[in-house]
Amino acid sequence: MSANSNAQTSYSISDLSKEFDITTRSIRFYEDQGLLKPKRRGQTRIYSLKDRVRLKLILRGKRLGFSLAETRRLFELYDADKSSVTQLNTMLALIEEKKASLQQQMDDIKVVLMELTSAEAQCRTALDGQQKA
């Protein structure tokens, strides 16, 4: 992104699509979900800097495993309380939940890997026994 585009205050759907490497359909979906609220000039959507920042946060949230409902909740909290204290506390709670969920998944994966290793060893032992017989 060039220095000139940093000063940009409005964006077309294709601008955002190219910048974030997502489809225009995805952007329209986020709009349908109430996460983005572009202005309209006829049929043309005009996205603000706020919409661009929100899109960036939506995509970051997706990467971190947040649902669109959770992202919407954070946006609503921010819109209601610009001090963002409530939003930050909610974000911390969501992060804690995600970390706990990921830790549980890692623990489950470790157990499955141990079971697979054990099953593999039993199969190899059985094969060795049959080949020697």
What type of residue sits at position 117? Answer: T
Q: Specify the pLDDT at position 85.
A: 82
For the chain, list the strands marked E by DSSP.
Answer: 10-11, 39-41, 44-48
Half-sphere exposure of residue 111: CA atoms within 13 angstroms, side-chain side: 6
What is the value of pTM for the model shown?
Answer: 0.69
pLDDT number for residue 2: 43
Sheet with strand 44-48: strands edge to edge: 10-11, 44-48, 39-41
Mean pLDDT of 12-21: 96
